[in-house]
Amino acid sequence: MIIIKSKREIDLMREPCKVTSEILHNLAEFVRPGKTTQDINDFVEKTIAHYGMRPTFKGYGGFPAGACVSVNEEVIHGIPSGKKILKEGDIVSVDIGATYKGYNSDAARTYPVGEISAEAQRLIDVTRQSFFEGIKYAMVGYRIHDIGHAVQEYAEANGMGIIRDYTGHGTGKNLHEDPQIPNYGTPGTGAKLKEGMTLAVEPMLTLGTYDVKVLSNEWTVVTLDSKMAAHYENTIVITDGEPEILTL
């Protein structure tokens, strides 16, 4: 069941979304060669705690950290570690959420670590832009798969693979709510978009195949061909006009 949020609920969601946006903005300076993925997690958790909020992901389904920190071929759900040191040329995706008064945020970015290849930078750029292509259709009168179709068209026109096994989703009191939002699909299908829907739209693109596997830690998802992946996500709200991006 898709939950339509009241103005009060959306206003409550704005608070953790603002904090999430600030953290993701500041990580652009924080991420550099020599940092560990645990350093990134500590930065995220410390900032969320500073604002009197809770890291949504910590303990969610048993996940052990406040941030998913995924490097290079890791698509999502990378578990932070003090032994995983970022090096020049890596790319790192950071996916986070904060919980405030029972409501959640959810957003992700992919960052370059020092100087990266032109190919890696293009992956980051196309992934980000595919989100904005998708949300051109995040308006009343369109349907869920119109968003995914627009992401798919843009990504594939730019030669990128689109992860099929994981999707965007509704979000609110629960981190994952209906509907699922694939990053591909047939236009004109799926649930109708209505004012008050709050959605996490999150393209996950790769430089190669969309086939993935889960590592033995039972969390981290990696590309089967070991090529790089990028992730760009925001929490948005459907309004009576253009969508509002709460985490930007």
Taking residues 133-159, report their average pLDDT: 98
| Class in CATH terms, 7-245 | alpha beta
How many CA atoms, within 13 angstroms, populate the side-chain half-sphere of residue 163?
28
Would you say 224 and 73 are in contact if contact means Cβ atoms under 8 Å apart? no
Listed in order, strand segments (DSSP E) in 30-97 are 54-55, 67-71, 74-76, 91-96
Eight-state DSSP code of residue 100: E
pLDDT tens column, 206-232 = 999 999 999 999 999 999 999 999 999
The pLDDT of residue 173: 97
The pLDDT of residue 76: 98
Is the full-model pTM beyond 0.85?
yes
Would you say 238 and 136 are in contact if contact means Cβ atoms under 8 Å apart? no
pLDDT band of 106, cuts 50, 70, 90: very high
The pLDDT of residue 99: 98
Distance between CA 56 and CA 105 in Å, rounded? 8
The pLDDT of residue 143: 98
pLDDT band of 6, cuts 50, 70, 90: very high
Going from N- to C-terminal start, the domains of the chain cover 7-245
- If you compute the radius of gyration of the chain from its CA atoms, what whole number of angstroms results? 17
Taking alpha carbons only, the member of 92, 38, 91 closest to residue 65 is 38
- Angle CA 45–67–78, to nearest 5: 150
**Portion of the chain with pLDDT greater than 90, in percent:** 100
pLDDT tens column, 26-78 = 999 999 999 999 999 999 999 999 999 999 999 999 999 999 999 999 999 99
The pLDDT of residue 10: 98
Burial state string for 115-137 with b = 16 or more CB within 10 A and e = fewer than 16: ebeeebebbbebbbbbbbbbbeb
